[in-house]
Amino acid sequence: MTKSILLYIVGMALVTAAVLVILKGLGVFTTIPGYIIGGLALFVIGAGILGGMRNI
């Protein structure tokens, strides 16, 4: 159970980071404020926990 939760968190973090890099590369974002990164980190952790618990 813990392994699947961690895998969901890491997977979602990688996808979120990839989307941010693509958007920054396209010029949509010039700078990303710290509170946005913190909010995305909390979202990824929460979604990863919920996704991992769904597989129980």
pLDDT tens digits for 28-47? 888 888 898 889 999 999 99
Q: Is the pLDDT of residue 55 over 80?
A: no
pLDDT band at 13 (very low <50, low <70, confident <90, very high): very high
Amino acid at 15: V
Q: What is the pLDDT of residue 36?
A: 87
pTM for the whole structure? 0.79
> Is 56's pLDDT higher than 80?
no
Quote the radius of gyration of the chain (alpha carbons, Å): 13
For residue 41, give Cα distances in angstroms to 9, 26, 47, 56.
9, 22, 10, 23
Tell me the residue length of the chain.
56
| 52 has pLDDT over 80 | yes
Q: What tokens appear for 11 in the block?
A: 């997977």
Question: What is the maximal distance between C-alpha atoms in the chain?
Answer: 41
